[in-house]
């Protein structure tokens, strides 16, 4: 039987960052895939550079920003002023929708403004995400954008989500801000710039991995089972005894491996199908990505890599949210994507010259009061056995790459040393 002081499951951002924090400490990372990176992998094909999905870095933590930038050659980093829009009734509205209702038709604007005023003066009890949207923005803004878009994104009933499911990532605006924005445009409060490496998101991973010893990463080794009392992990290759275990796999799977008897139906999530598409010539310029609330479009977001890299061929990522239980028909959905792109005039006589697709499962976890309680209670119980569950899926939460790094560093600082 092998032994390591610190066993880390998963070589994504959270797992690698934990190893960085441990520095000279004894550790071992096991990774089920054939390469490190988790969902931050990059595909380079036929002259195009695509990620598994759009991974853009919005720095909020000066320490993390300074550390990350020190790991990557500054010449490799592009900083962009974010240009994002919403496709609505045949035109592009500036994002976020709720701050730009004055760009709608007169009748839609009046509906939104009236309902927004009623909502601001008639607050009701908020029990879930659906209630929160209505309470803050009124019926019209919700029905025109917030409901249909988020239903496409999460592929679920919005009333099943916690009222703070998206946390700080939801672009809040109060009544006064929305009114002020009518005359003085200000959409800067929600991640107005982003950074992106020339080589794609994998450069974030490679930057983190610079401080990780390669021989301490075992790829194509899957976690199978965990004995909490004996502190032994069984993998597809061996048994490993540990002192501390850091898991980045989905929290429900970790609990199941420990044979914990709970109602696992409270854990829900969606999967996201991503099409990366390369065309023979440019398309729309001065846009980074567009949101699509229209339910006639199968996709909820389309992003433009070529407008980041300033290349002469249109390079898209197209995202489709699906229930985790559905079978994915790649060919059918690709046909619907291309038809939708034509209808939106993103492609005209363009020729598709390169493509691939990825299914991320899980993609977005569905955060509700029950899952929050289970994570809070059982993460404490696991910690009593020196087992720590972190990251987007390990913490069953909505967070950024930067959050993952901070959580890993703090875990090492306060728990593993």
Can you give the pLDDT at residue 190? 52
**Which positions of the chain have pLDDT values less than 50?**
189
The per-residue pLDDT for 175 is 79
Whether residues 372 and 262 share a domain: the answer is: yes
Residues in the chain: 417
Domain stop point among 360, 388, 405: 360
Least Cα distance to 161 among 398, 378, 379, 336 occurs for 398
Pair (223, 371) in one structural domain? yes
Same domain, 239 and 372: yes
State the pLDDT at residue 188.
Answer: 53
**Residue 108: predicted pLDDT:** 97
Question: Which strand (E) or helix (H) includes residue 332?
Answer: helix 330-343
Are 71 and 89 within one domain? Answer: no
Domain that holds residue 51: 2-75+197-267+367-415
162 and 215 belong to one structural domain? no
Question: Which of 148, 174, 190 is a domain's end point?
Answer: 190
Q: What is the rounded distance in angstroms from the CA atom of residue 278 to the CA atom of residue 414?
A: 46
Same structural domain for residues 182 and 215? no
β-pair partners for 241: 3, 232
Residues 185 and 93 grouped into a single domain = yes
Q: Where does a domain end: 140, 172, 190? A: 190
| Residues 10 and 64 placed together within one structural domain of the fold | yes
Q: What per-residue confidence (pLDDT) applies to 305?
A: 96
- Do 148 and 162 lie in one domain? The reply is yes
Check: CB of residue 257 under 8 Å from CB of residue 19: no
pLDDT on residue 78: 87
Q: Quick one: tokens of 244?
A: 């501390």
Residue 301 sits in the same domain as residue 326 = yes
The neighbour count for residue 189, using CB atoms within 10 Å, is 12
Per the structure, how many domains does the chain have? 3
What CATH code is carried by the domain that includes residue 377? Answer: 3.50.50.60
Place of tokens 């920003």: 65
- How far does the chain reach from its first CA to its final CA, in angstroms? 24
**Is there a single domain that holds both residue 125 and residue 237?**
no
């Amino acid at each position: 039987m092998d032994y390591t002081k610190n066993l880390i499951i998963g070589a994504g951002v959270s797992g690698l960052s934990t190893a960085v924090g441990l520095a000279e400490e004894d550790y071992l990372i096991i990774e089920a895939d054939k390469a490190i990176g988790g969902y931050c992998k990059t595909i380079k094909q036929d002259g195009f550079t695509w990620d598994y999905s759009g991974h853009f870095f919005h720095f909020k933590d000066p320490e993390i920003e300074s550390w990350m930038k020190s790991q990557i050659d500054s010449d490799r980093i592009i900083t962009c002023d974010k240009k994002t829009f919403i496709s609505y009734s045949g035109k592009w509205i500036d994002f976020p929708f709720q701050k730009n209702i004055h760009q709608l038709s007169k009748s839609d604007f009046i509906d939104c403004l009236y309902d927004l005023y009623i909502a601001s003066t008639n607050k009701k009890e908020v029990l879930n995400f659906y209630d929160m949207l209505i309470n803050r923005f009124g019926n019209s803004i919700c029905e025109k954008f917030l409901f249909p878009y988020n239903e496409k994104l999460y592929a679920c009933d919005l009333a099943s989500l916690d009222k703070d499911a998206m946390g700080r990532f939801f672009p809040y605006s109060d009544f006064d801000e929305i009114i002020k924005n009518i005359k003085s445009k200000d959409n800067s409060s929600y991640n107005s710039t982003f950074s992106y490496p020339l080589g794609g998101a994998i450069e974030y991973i490679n930057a983190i991995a610079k401080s990780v010893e390669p021989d301490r990463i075992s790829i194509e080794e899957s976690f199978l089972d965990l004995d909490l009392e004996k502190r032994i992990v069984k993998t597809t290759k061996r048994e490993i005894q540990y002192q501390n275990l850091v898991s980045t796999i989905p929290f429900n799977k970790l609990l199941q491996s420990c044979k914990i008897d709970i109602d696992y139906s409270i854990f829900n999530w969606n999967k996201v199908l991503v099409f990366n598409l390369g065309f023979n010539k440019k398309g729309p310029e001065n846009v980074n990505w567009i949101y699509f609330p229209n339910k006639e479009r199968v996709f909820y977001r389309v992003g433009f890599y070529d407008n980041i890299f300033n290349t002469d061929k249109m390079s898209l990522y197209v995202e489709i949210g699906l229930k985790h239980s559905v079978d994915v028909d790649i060919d059918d959905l690709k046909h619907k994507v291309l038809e939708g792109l034509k209808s939106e005039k993103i492609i005209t006589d363009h020729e598709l010259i390169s493509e691939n697709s990825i299914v991320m499962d899980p993609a977005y976890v569905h955060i509700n009061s029950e899952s929050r309680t289970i994570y809070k209670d059982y993460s404490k119980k696991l910690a009593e056995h020196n087992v720590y569950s972190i990251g987007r899926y390990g913490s069953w939460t909505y967070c950024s790459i930067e959050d993952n790094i901070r959580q890993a560093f703090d875990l090492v600082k306060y728990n593993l040393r």
